[in-house]
Amino acid sequence: MEVLITTKIYDLLKEYPHLEDELIKINPKFKKLKNPVLKRTVARVASIKQAAIVGGMEPQELLNKIRALVGQEAISVDDIANNSKEAPIWIANEPKIIIDANELLDKEQNPLAASNKAIKELQNGEILLIKSDFMPQPLIDEFIDKGYEVYSSKIDDESFLTYILKP
């Protein structure tokens, strides 16, 4: 299996099970991979690029560290998108529902499933806010793919706020 920026973490760990501990050595934020719910759910949809963003790393750096661990040569990755953009006006509105992703993970619950359920409860124009200690890139990408407006910001080294506007 060639390891690429688009390789899903689940597939990577299935092919190279020893990488779980190695990923945690690369970045302690990846210790969440030990959570069985995260491993069964988010890891199935999260790519190496998304995992890097969650871990606060450059995607190419993580990719090439993983490639080295499995005996593959480093590669150059072009056009890795940066999610930084100006905050939209709509985030000034009060969120209707707030989810703490860390709390859910600690209870071995799936933040993506909880977010999907919560968004269904919202009326058009209402906001879901997700608090986490990591950039929830797989969740962000999923909601963008579904046509929602999403804005995520890093508050400090331990806090991210992700706003999702129901159209």
Which two three-digit tokens encode residue 38?
Answer: 């995260």
Q: How far apart are alpha carbons 27 and 19 in whole angstroms? A: 12
Please work out, in degrees rounded to the nearest 5, the angle formed at the alpha carbon of residue 160 by the alpha carbons of 13 and 144.
70
Burial pattern 144-162, b for ≥16 Cβ within 10 A else e, equals eeeebebbbeeeeeeebbb
φ and ψ at residue 80, rounded to 5 degrees: -80, 115
Residues 123 and 151 occupy one common structural domain: yes
Q: Which domain holds residue 145?
A: 89-165
Region for residue 117 given its phi and psi (left: phi exceeds 0; alpha: psi -120 to 50; beta: otherwise): alpha
pLDDT for 139-165, tens place per residue? 998 999 899 999 998 888 788 999 999
Does residue 4 belong to any structural domain of this protein? no
pLDDT for 15-43, tens place per residue? 999 999 999 999 998 988 888 877 778 77
Q: How confident is the model at residue 81 (pLDDT cuts 50, 70, 90)?
A: very low
Q: What is the pTM of this model?
A: 0.63
Q: Count how many domains the chain has.
A: 2
pLDDT for 87-133, tens place per residue? 889 998 999 999 999 999 889 898 999 999 999 999 999 999 999 98
